[in-house]
Amino acid sequence: MKPVLYHSVSARSFRPLWAMEELGMEYELHIVPFPPRAVHREYLEINPLGTVPALRVGNTLMTESAAMCQYLAEAHGGGSTLALTPDEPEYPDYLNYLHFGEATLTFPQTLVLRYRHFEAPERRSPQIVEDYARWFLGRLKALDGRLHSRPFLCGQRFTMADVSVGYAMLLAEHLDLLSQASTQIQAYWRSLQSRPAFQQALKIEHDAAVSQGVSPLPAPAHRPWEQHTDTGSAQ
């Protein structure tokens, strides 16, 4: 049975979308207007958390993007090299960077996004934006040493850890945070973007959004706070 992915344009659900393109696998894609809990309430029947991504696999619903990447590589990888295995020396690094991409690099950016764009104008906070932009840039430095002597984060090859961290780069670019990153990190990000599966995932995202009647622009560009200030803010 094909996995079913619920995705919003430029949201963390880009991770499993990109991952499935890297794996060349079949899946069903539903584009959900953002934030679904405010502008597409029927989505709560699929995922009561109201968050994207949601990935239906058989009778199970996954709601964590990094876990989805790990699951997809292991269960649908068919011998692909996108996951490290426990017998490889850098397996602990692999798991660490897989989760680092979400827990350490994406979390502070969601506060920048929220308090710069998604909150109603009177609740926006330049102080929070500045603090968490600095937090993100500080944590990003951890990658400098890592990428000094290698093109990818682990195992001398592209893996799901790069998908996880790569999404954090994509979000940082939308938030204009990457211009302050080192040249090494910027070169790493350019190499991730040049991957055919990354480009294909962007195209599929755009085409599916248009054909499903959803704006293909990232949420801040179509100003969602004007539609749902009564329902709390997304991140």
Q: Interface with ligand GSH by CB under 6 A: which residues?
A: 11-12, 35, 37, 50-53, 64-66, 102, 234-235
Residues 6+ apart with CB under 8 A from 71: 55, 57, 62
Nearest CA-CA partner of 13 in 167, 216, 204, 198: 167
CA angle 25, 213, 20 (to 5 degrees): 15
13 or 159: CB nearest ligand GSH: 13
Q: Which residues of 128-167 are buried (b: 16+ CB within 10 A; e: fewer)?
A: ebeebbebbbebbeebeebbeeeebbbbeebbbbbbbbbb
Minimum distance, C-beta of residue 106 to ligand GSH, in the bound complex (Å): 7
Dig out the tokens for 51 from the structure.
């968050």
Minimum distance, C-beta of residue 87 to ligand GSH, in the bound complex (Å): 27
Minimum distance, C-beta of residue 214 to ligand GSH, in the bound complex (Å): 14
52 or 175: CB nearest ligand GSH: 52
The residue sitting closest to ligand GSH, measured at its beta carbon, is 51
103 or 187: CB nearest ligand GSH: 103
Minimum distance, C-beta of residue 46 to ligand GSH, in the bound complex (Å): 12
Dig out the tokens for 39 from the structure.
């502008």
109 or 159: CB nearest ligand GSH: 109
CA end-to-end span of the chain, whole Å?
A: 31
4 or 184: CB nearest ligand GSH: 4
Minimum distance, C-beta of residue 41 to ligand GSH, in the bound complex (Å): 11
Q: Which residues of 62-75 are buried (b: 16+ CB within 10 A; e: fewer)?
A: bbbbbbbbbbbbee
